[in-house]
Chain A
């Protein structure tokens, strides 16, 4: 009960901070924060899998599916309500994750990483060739509405940011509960010793499949928000460099702390924005040096600054 109330208090504080900060932020920063938080959800999906020892290099698959489903629903079915679009995209990712999850859960290490990457690259190839979906140019997406409210300009940016903040806090709380749950602890055990877990009577495959499906849904939510915030979706969402960025954030954050994933994602967006501004052709180098410093100084990621695995912690 104490842990549950701790999560509630932390969630309320985080929400207050995000809302307060959002109201004070200028437009450009509001957009950057929305994108940073949305993409953090996608990276959080990788972190869910990292806790059981797997790293997906194809998280762009669900990011792209989420974004395209929302875009297509908005453009062709006239659905613009963000709640409905999020729900449909999550269901689509749940269905596709449910198909591929049990299949990929048979693989480990580089095989899992490369298979997940190949799925996202297949989607990239299909979307690039489908002229009816805009081919490599992609699609413009209509501005979302919020349960009948149709804001424009700054109000739209702020509404999207607030929606993202609510989603981020809710998912953060749910995942914290999940990380501290029986399934969460078994995932950590799988990461440490699969043989032991099987000899205790649990299915490593089932654990990994569940984590894959959770990660698929998170990828979808991140894709919907990003697509709607940018107002455009294209096959690049499924491209390997996009998936690589999500892995970058996951490694930067580590698997120990949920807030660290959001911090790492926002840091990446800031570094990208400012590097683009001041070092337009070398921003990847800046990013690389940054990651190198983090790996050398904090091998378990930014999260290890606040959270160490010891008695009482998980």
Chain B
């Protein structure tokens, strides 16, 4: 369990991140500094650059320009595996699970990989200590009753929770959640977020989550980054950002209609 004392250094910092896909600029001068244990949300319309930002930080995409620092160390250019090993984990908008494995086996895989030693050919995956630990994680996310099920038999909410539970096995210091409640039934959204945030807070994990539901944004985050057209157009407390005219116009669509001249 991560119980390290605060270093005073930002948990995650990006400086001038740029990313283009042909003529489309998906990220333009993204500069943020996320303090330890912060819970920030990333909002914006589709194509605004939120997932590009998450993909760059987690090593799936390499920025064309700019620097990514994790606890002061430059991690720009590292791949997903190295970034994960460093302590930054993520979940996915479409949960990335191992479809041929049961729920329990998915967590056992995550635990085996989280072990500092490479997965061994001679160490049993299902030894009782590992199974106990896996069950503990499933119980924390209240999905233990699904342990024997395959992915095709799970609801969207359970898949989301399993995806996040697997990422938590590596005891991350920073977690990026890509739309943790998308595709989930309305009545399940808050219970899921409660479970996830409780688990992350228990391990003092700095959290950034991409979200479209403003009720969730205001309830769970202490700061909001609003993206539009590859840029951050607002960066402040949730109420401030949601009342920002630019955000209302370009992100939330809540700006009052302009009087016709």
Chain A residue at smallest Cβ distance from B147: A311
A183 contact from B58, B106, B119, B169, Cβ within 8 A: B119
A200 contact from B101, B124, B170, Cβ within 8 A: B170
- Most chain A C-beta atoms within 10 Å of own C-beta, residue among B79, B85, B126: B126
- Whether A276 is near chain B, meaning CB under 8 Å from some CB there, is no
* B120 in contact with A182 (CB, 8 Å): yes
* B121 in contact with A210 (CB, 8 Å): yes
A188 — which chain B residues lie within 8 A by C-beta? Answer: 98, 100-101, 105, 109
* A181 in contact with B120 (CB, 8 Å): yes
A200-B109, A200-B170 known; A192 vs B121 contact (CB < 8 Å): no
Chain A residue at smallest Cβ distance from B166: A200
A310 contact from B96, B120, B125, B148, Cβ within 8 A: B148
B147 — which chain A residues lie within 8 A by C-beta? Answer: 311
* A182 in contact with B99 (CB, 8 Å): no
A202 — which chain B residues lie within 8 A by C-beta? Answer: 81, 113, 118-119
Interface majority SS on B: helix, strand, loop or mixed? loop
Q: In the complex, what's the smallest C-beta–C-beta distance from A176 to chain B, in angstroms?
A: 11
Chain A residue at smallest Cβ distance from B121: A183
A192-B101, A195-B96 known; A180 vs B89 contact (CB < 8 Å): no
Complex Cα spacing A196 to B118, Å: 16
Interface size class of A (residues with CB under 8 A): 20 to 34
Q: In the complex, what's the smallest C-beta–C-beta distance from B126 to chain A, in angstroms?
A: 7
Chain B residue at smallest Cβ distance from A53: B100
Interface positions, chain B 55-86, Cβ under 8 Å from A, are 58, 79-81, 84-85
Complex Cα spacing A186 to B81, Å: 14
B124 — which chain A residues lie within 8 A by C-beta? Answer: 3, 177, 180-182
* B84 in contact with A311 (CB, 8 Å): no
Interface majority SS on A: helix, strand, loop or mixed? helix
- Whether B252 is near chain A, meaning CB under 8 Å from some CB there, is no
- Whether B219 is near chain A, meaning CB under 8 Å from some CB there, is no
Chain B residue at smallest Cβ distance from A196: B96
B45 — which chain A residues lie within 8 A by C-beta? Answer: none
* A181 in contact with B121 (CB, 8 Å): yes
A185-B108, A186-B109, A311-B102 known; A199 vs B96 contact (CB < 8 Å): yes
- Whether A288 is near chain B, meaning CB under 8 Å from some CB there, is no
* B84 in contact with A200 (CB, 8 Å): yes
- Most chain B C-beta atoms within 10 Å of own C-beta, residue among A177, A193, A312: A193
- Whether B110 is near chain A, meaning CB under 8 Å from some CB there, is yes
Binding site for B on A (CB under 8 A): 3, 177-178, 180-186, 188-189, 191-193, 195-203, 206-207, 210, 309-312, 314
Binding site for A on B (CB under 8 A): 58, 79-81, 84-85, 89-90, 96-102, 104-106, 108-110, 112-115, 118-126, 147-148, 150, 166-167, 169-170
